[in-house]
Amino acid sequence: MDAAALVDCSVPTLDISAGLSVDPLSSRELDHCLKGSPSPRYSLSPSCLLLTDRRIYAPEYRSERGNLRTRGLQAKHDHPTAGHFGYNKALE
């Protein structure tokens, strides 16, 4: 059985865009990309999100909805169909 998680992509995308200018690393790398001289591991997506190794870079950023990186992990790992039933259940 395949499991899928339905996530509203517009909110994380807005938070990622807002966080790019706040996070020192992403701010520097975004500037390099926009000037046409990106570092080897960084590039821009068609929607101007910073990519690292062709994956969306989640900046160190805390919006009013909480820490962006933590929310991303929770969306994938805390879903009822993801992972296992916890440490104690795994030991049984």
From first to last of its 92 residues, what are the pLDDT tens digits of the chain?
344 444 455 667 888 888 888 889 999 999 999 999 999 999 999 988 899 999 888 888 777 777 878 887 777 777 777 666 666 666 66
State how far the Cα of 41 lies from the Cα of 70, in Å rounded to an integer. 23
Domain tally for the chain? 1
Which residue segment(s) compose the domain that 43 sits in? 10-78
What pLDDT sits at residue 10?
60
* pLDDT at residue 6, as a whole number: 44
Alpha helices in the chain (DSSP H): 10-20, 24-34, 68-77, 87-91
Q: In the structure encoding, which two tokens stand for residue 78, read together?
A: 């805390």
Radius of gyration of the chain (CA): 16
Q: What pLDDT shows up at residue 70?
A: 81
- Position 91 scores a pLDDT of 61
Domain-embedded: residue 29: yes
In a domain, 39, yes or no: yes
